[in-house]
Amino acid sequence: MIDAFEKSAKRAGGRPAVHYFDQTLTYGQLDDLATRFATLLAGWGVGKGDRVAVYVQNNPQFLIAQYGAWKRGAAVVPLNPMFKAKEVEYHLQDSGAKVLVALDSLYAAHAEKVIGGTDIQQVVTTHERDFVSEDVAKKTPLLNQTDKSPPSGTVDLVAALNQTVPDPGVRVAVGPEDIAYLVYTSGTTGRPKGAMNLHRNVAYNANVYRIWMKMADEDGVLGLAPLFHITGIVGHAALAAMAGIPLVLFHRFDAALALEMIQRWRPTMTVASITAFIALMNAPEAKEANVASMSKYYSGGAPIAPSLVEQFERAFGGYIHNIYGLTETNSPTHAVPLGVRAPVDPGSGALSVGIPVPGCLARVVDLEDPSREVGVGEPGEFAVKGPMIFSGYWDKPEATKSAFQDGYFLTGDVVVMDEQGWFYVVDRKKDMINASGYKVWPREVEDTLYQHPAVKEAAVVGVPDPYRGETVKAFVALRGEYAGKVTEDDIIQFCQERMAAYKYPRLVEFLPEIPKTATGKFLRRELRERSSGS
C-alpha cells in the first residue's frame, strides 16, 4: 500500500492530499513529512517488522506516522482515542510496539501512566491544533484550547519534523505479504485480538472502493469514520491514496463540523456508520447546509433500517448504499452497486448489504456446523474468502485456526441469501434473543421502532425473564420535539400492532442517547449490563 501512496505522490504531488479544517497538505508535502518521520524512525532503530502505535484522532499526524512507518517496513497499530490507561497498556503490550505517536492530551491523561510496563522506547507527541490556522483553532471548541505543551520526556512531532533532513535512503523494500496494520477487534467475546492486515489486503480493497464507487480525479473523500477503525483506514485513507484524491479530516466526528467541511471542500463520497448519518439528519444546521457535492453515500458496520434510508434521502437528496465488511476482511466483502437501490428481504424486512465485491467468495453455513452450507432463504453464518481476508490474529494461532472453515473466514454474522444472490444480514449470532424458544433478531425489532416518527435512535437487547427465559427490551432516544410526549406504552403498542407477539418489546427505556462505540455501533453489551444491574 505504501507503493500506491508514493505513486500518487509522484503523479499528483501538487494536488491536495488532506484538507484539515482550513489548511491543506499536498501529496508532495505529505510524502516529504512521511520521509522525515521515517528518517526519525531509522535513527531510533525502527525497521522492518517493528510496530508503531498511533494514538490520535482524525488528524493529519495519523497519515504522517502511518506512511513514515511503512517506509521503514514497520506495521501500524491504530489505537482508539477513547482508550483509557489499562486499555492502552494491553494493546501496547500485546503488539510489542516500539514507538508511540500520541496526542499530547491523550498521552498525559492515559498512556504516560502505563508506558513503563511496555516495550515502547520512544514517545512522540503532537497537538490537534497542529496544521490548523490560529484563527480557526481559537474558533473551534472541538479542538483542545489548552496551550500546546509537549509532555516531559517526549519528542514534539512538528518540531522534530522541521529539524530533520529527509533521507530517501531510509526507505526499505515492503512486499505484499508484509503487515500493514495490526487492527484490534472490539473484544466483544474476549480480549481484543490484533488482526494482521497485510499490504496486499489493504491495497486490494482500496482498489475495490475506487472501482466500485467510480472514484476519479474530481472526487474527494469526507472522513466521517475514525482512522483507527478499518472503515477509516481503508474506506478513507487507503482509498484516497490509491486514487490520488483529497481526504477531508476534522479531528473527530461532529455533525455541524461535518456539514461545514462539506460546504468548504466539496467532497463527493463517504462511508460511515448509520448513526453518523442520523446525527447529520438531526443537526440544527442540516436544513441550511449545501451538501450538493455529496453524491456517493455508503454505510456499514451496523444494520440499516429501510425507513432511515428513506428519511435521509428526503433530507439530503442522496441514497445511502449499504456495504458490509469487518476488521478481518479489510472493509468490504459485499456492497450495493453505486446507483442501485438495495432490495428489502420480505421475510425479515432487512435491507440488503449487497452482493460480493470482485474477488470475494461467500457462503452461508449452518449455525452449528460450519462445514455444511444452508439453502437459499435459510438463515446461516456468513463465511467469506478472497484476497481481502486478513492473514490471522497476531500471536494467536489457535484463535486464527478456529476463525476459518475450509479457507473461509467465519464472520459471526447471521445472513440470508435470496435467489438473485443478494445478501441480508439478520443479526450477530451472539445478539439473538431466545424468547420462549422463539428466535428474535434485534435488528428486525429496531427496524420497526425506526418507523415511529418520534424515534431518533433505537437499540434492542434480550434481558432475563423468569417466564420466557428472555424477553425483548428496547432502548429508545426520542427526537427533541417528542421528548416527554411519548410514553413507553405508546412505543410498545406501536410495535405490537406491527409484529408477532413473541417479537415486540415488553420493556422500553428512554435514554437521551444510545451508548455507542467510537465507530457508531450501539453498545448492546453495556445495555444488557444496565438492564441486569451489573
CATH number of 432-532: 3.30.300.30
**Which of 87-101, 225-239, 241-255, 445-459 is predicted least confidently?**
445-459
With cell 432487512, the residue in question is 350
Mean model confidence pLDDT for the chain = 92
Instruction: Give me the percent of the chain exceeding a pLDDT of 90.
Output: 78
Beta-bridge partners for 321: 298
Q: What are 478's three cell numbers?
A: 426520542
Residue 519 has pLDDT above 70, yes or no: no
Per-residue pLDDT band at 467 (split at 50, 70, 90): low
Describe the strand order of the beta sheet including 320-326 as a list of residue ranges: 23-26, 16-20, 247-249, 221-222, 269-272, 296-299, 320-326, 331-335, 355-356
Confidence of residue 438 (pLDDT cuts 50, 70, 90): low
The model's pTM is 0.84
* pLDDT, tens digit, 9 for 90 and up, residues 491-510: 999 999 888 788 899 999 99
Spatial CB neighbours of 115, under 8 Å, sequence gap ≥ 6 = 92, 100, 123
CATH match for 2-7+20-206+224-243 among 1.20.1560.10, 3.30.465.10, 3.40.50.12780, 3.40.50.980: 3.40.50.980
50: CB partners within 8 A, 6+ apart = 72, 73, 74, 75, 97, 98, 99
Higher pLDDT, 132 or 437: 132
Mean pLDDT of 379-392: 96
Residue 187 binned pLDDT confidence (cut-offs 50, 70, 90): low
**Mean pLDDT along residues 365-372:** 93
What is the model's pLDDT at position 346?
A: 82
Domain ranges of the chain: 2-7+20-206+224-243, 432-532
Of the listed ranges 178-192, 267-281, 324-338, 488-502, the least confidently predicted one is 178-192
Q: For 48-96, write each residue's pLDDT tens digit.
A: 999 999 999 999 999 999 999 999 999 999 999 988 898 899 999 999 9
Give the residue from 370, 443, 373 showing the smallest Cα distance to 411: 370
Q: How many CA atoms lie within 13 A of 181 on its CB side?
A: 34
pLDDT of residue 190: 61
Strands 122-126 and 155-156: parallel
Does pLDDT of 409 surpass 70?
yes
Q: In this model, does residue 279 exceed pLDDT 70?
A: yes
pLDDT band at 188 (very low <50, low <70, confident <90, very high): very low
Mean pLDDT of 343-365: 91
- Contact (CB, 8 A) for 29 and 20: no
Band of residue 251 on the pLDDT scale cut at 50, 70, 90: very high
More confident call, 304 vs 476:
476
Provide the pLDDT for residue 291.
Answer: 96
pLDDT of residue 525: 76
- Percentage of the chain exceeding pLDDT 70: 96
SS3 108: helix
- Least confident range from 154-158, 373-377, 499-503: namely 499-503
